[in-house]
Chain A
Amino acid sequence: MDELKLIELAQHGDRKALSELVRNYEKTIFNFSFKICRNKDRAEHTMQETFLSMVKNIGQFSGQSKLSTWLYRVVANHCLMLARTESKSGFTSFDDEDALIDESSVADWKVTPDRVTENNELKAILDEAIQKLEPEYRIVFLLRDIEGLSTEETAKIVELSVPAVKSRLHRARAFLRNELNKRFENERL
């Protein structure tokens, strides 16, 4: 059954349709939540809150945007709210944007991403690098580069202008690449 029909049924109280919508998106939302917060328990909590919001508010869903966009927005807002509550310090600031590109530090990486999920050492390196990025930058990087949304869709979800999204994406890409370069320039994992 197509998604619009499922939404229509769910809006009229069809629990099977709601369950099917949850099933269609739970893996995507769990992974997106994990990629922001890098913690499985928190990712599960965020997933639960996101779908609870969907169940409560499905009646207000107008269909003008995709359901996935709506769900990504709920996850992003929830994670940002959690991050602000914790007010964790230690994130990297980008005061000197020009220093993000260092043309003297360019190695030919020998690592490949093929077996990342089986390599705990590699996963720890990836977790450590992305956790240095402020959540606002992390979310833009994940929506645009990992989830494959357009710059315009990303801008709508995070409620920023397109140039602001591009600026954050540039910094996030350069920063993460630099962090990994420190570890991979001389290593095979």
Chain B
Amino acid sequence: MSDYKTTIKTEMPTCKDVMNHICDNLGEELNSPRCIEIKAHLEKCDSCQHYFKSVDTTIQFYKKYNVELTDDAHNRLIEFLGLKE
């Protein structure tokens, strides 16, 4: 976890803590006691679930936004590199 999270915290996480944690650690498998508290909060909190979904959807948007490499662009590349047969 980041320095922000490694600060020793004994209180329960707030929504802001959870949202920060999502931006820090999305996609990581973490099992520290603090992470378990964060997951417990997330399961009960609609607002944090919406936040989690929106960060995940943001990533999915950019992942799925692809462009096609045309045959013309491929041919120009091969010619540019002097690899044309």
Contact = CB atoms under 8 A, between A and B. Distances in A.
Contacts of A26: 69, 74, 77
Given A109-B54, A126-B62, A173-B59, A15 B83 contact: yes
A103 B19 contact: yes
B3 to A, nearest CB: 8
A174 interface: yes
A107 B54 contact: yes
Instruction: Give the most central of B63, B65, B67, B81: most A CB within 10 Å.
Output: B65
Interface in B1-58: 2-3, 14-16, 19-20, 23-24, 26-27, 46-48, 50-51, 53-55, 57-58
Given A101-B20, A173-B26, A31 B47 contact: no
A40 B61 contact: no
A137 to B, nearest CB: 13
B16 A103 contact: yes
B47 A117 contact: no
A128 interface: no
12 contacts: A15-B83, A19-B83, A22-B77, A22-B78, A27-B69, A34-B67, A52-B80, A103-B15, A103-B19, A107-B54, A117-B65, A117-B66
**Which of B19, B53, B69, B74 lies at the interface centre, i.e. has the most chain A CB atoms within 10 A of its CB?**
B69
B65 A145 contact: no
Given A112-B57, A166-B24, 17 more contacts: A22-B77, A44-B77, A48-B76, A51-B77, A55-B81, A55-B82, A103-B14, A107-B50, A107-B54, A109-B50, A113-B64, A117-B65, A145-B26, A145-B59, A167-B2, A170-B20, A180-B58
Interface of A: 15, 18-19, 22, 26-27, 30-31, 34-35, 40, 43-44, 47-48, 51-52, 55, 100-101, 103, 106-109, 111-114, 116-117, 122-123, 126, 130, 141-142, 145-146, 163, 166-167, 169-171, 173-174, 176-177, 180-181, 184
Contacts of B3: 163
Contacts of A19: 78, 83
B82 to A, nearest CB: 8
Contact of A35 (B20, B62, B76): B62
B57 A130 contact: no
B77 A48 contact: yes
B44 to A, nearest CB: 15
Given A22-B81, A30-B67, A34-B67, A170 B2 contact: yes
A184 to B, nearest CB: 8
